Chains A and B, each alone.
Chain A
Amino acid sequence: MSSLQPNVDSTNSETMQRSNPKKRRKIGHSNSLSLVPWRSETQQRIYSSKLAEALRYVIHRNPPSLPAKSSAGREVRETADRVLAATAKGRTRWSRAILASPLNRWKLRRMHKKVHKASTGLPKKSPETRRRLPVVQKKARVLGRLVPGCRKLTFPNLLEEATDYISALEMQVRAMTALTELLTGGGSLASA
């Protein structure tokens, strides 16, 4: 049951020793990384079983009747994200970022949203400087905000992380859909 926690600790200590935040990763190194094959069925099965175990741990920890129903969905989402990041084996930046932030990521997101709204009251830059930002750079910045832990990456690294992140998310959706159908079917069978 507690198998999830030691995994998190080991990947954290590993990445702390290996990663040097000052050096930028050259793009030549990307070919040597053996990224996780998110499309394979084996990978999905691995993720599903880990997720099921993690969710069982979460249920047994909290009593079945949760006082705030809105937090239950968020807990499930966070558990799913953490298990996804753990399945990535810490080779990608977004997975390390998810595992490294035990704080509630949603609260941080709300704080960022408030800060953003406050800044619109300030005087904006002159139209000349605004036109210098190419559209692509703006879009790249938005993308960097969407992928966890990728705000200050160079453009090619950001694209690399984004491709892996998208494949991982697709697998997450497939696995959770299958799990949902399973539980829906299993519940009705048990009651009959």
Chain B
Amino acid sequence: MSSRRSRQQSGSNRISDDQIIELVSKLRQLVPEIRDRRSDKVSASKVLQETCNYIRNLHREVDDLSERLSQLLATIDADSAEAAIIRSLINQ
């Protein structure tokens, strides 16, 4: 249905199917769920679904990491934290 709309409209709003396919394939490369399954024919809705799940997982990981970081920052004092960070930056 969306392809029908894009063909009727002319000018800047035309979205070619090839561009969409290209973007979807780029997205497929990023999401590990789909990339590792090695099937060439994955439907667009599946790609979108896995992308949403992946983003939600990443959000949850960041939340957990933030919680742990906040606890760590509260327990150890500021000086040793700064020393550790500076030490790591120098060693890199």
A residues sitting closer than 8 Å to B (CB atoms) are 24, 26-27, 45, 49, 52, 55-56, 59-60, 64-66, 69, 72-77, 80-81, 132, 134-137, 139-140, 142-143, 146-147, 154-156, 159-160, 162-163, 165-167, 169-170, 172-173, 176-177, 179-180, 182-187, 189-191
Contact = CB atoms under 8 A, between A and B. Distances in A.
A162 B82 contact: no
Contacts of A52: 85
Q: How large is the interface on B (under 10, 10 to 19, 20 to 34, 35 or more residues)?
A: 35 or more
Contacts of A60: 78
B2 interface: yes
B56 interface: yes
A135 B78 contact: no
A52 B75 CA distance: 16
Contacts of B44: 136
24 contacts: A24-B12, A27-B19, A56-B78, A59-B78, A59-B81, A64-B78, A66-B74, A72-B73, A72-B74, A76-B67, A139-B48, A139-B52, A142-B52, A143-B52, A160-B23, A162-B51, A170-B58, A173-B61, A180-B72, A182-B85, A183-B73, A183-B84, A185-B84, A186-B83
Contacts of B85: 52, 179, 182-183, 186
B52 A72 contact: no
B42 interface: no
A147 B55 contact: yes
B20 A155 contact: yes
Given A135-B45, A163-B27, A177 B65 contact: yes
A64 B19 CA distance: 51
A137 B84 contact: no
A155 B15 contact: yes
Interface string B48-66: 1101101110110111011
Contacts of A132: 1
Contact of B65 (A49, A160, A180, A185): A180
A166 B51 contact: yes
A167 B65 CA distance: 17
A165 to B, nearest CB: 7
Contacts of A140: 48
Contact of A59 (B15, B26, B73): B73
B68 A169 contact: no
Nearest to A52: B85
Contacts of A162: 27, 51, 55
Contact of B54 (A73, A136, A166, A191): A166
B87 interface: yes
A186 B84 contact: yes
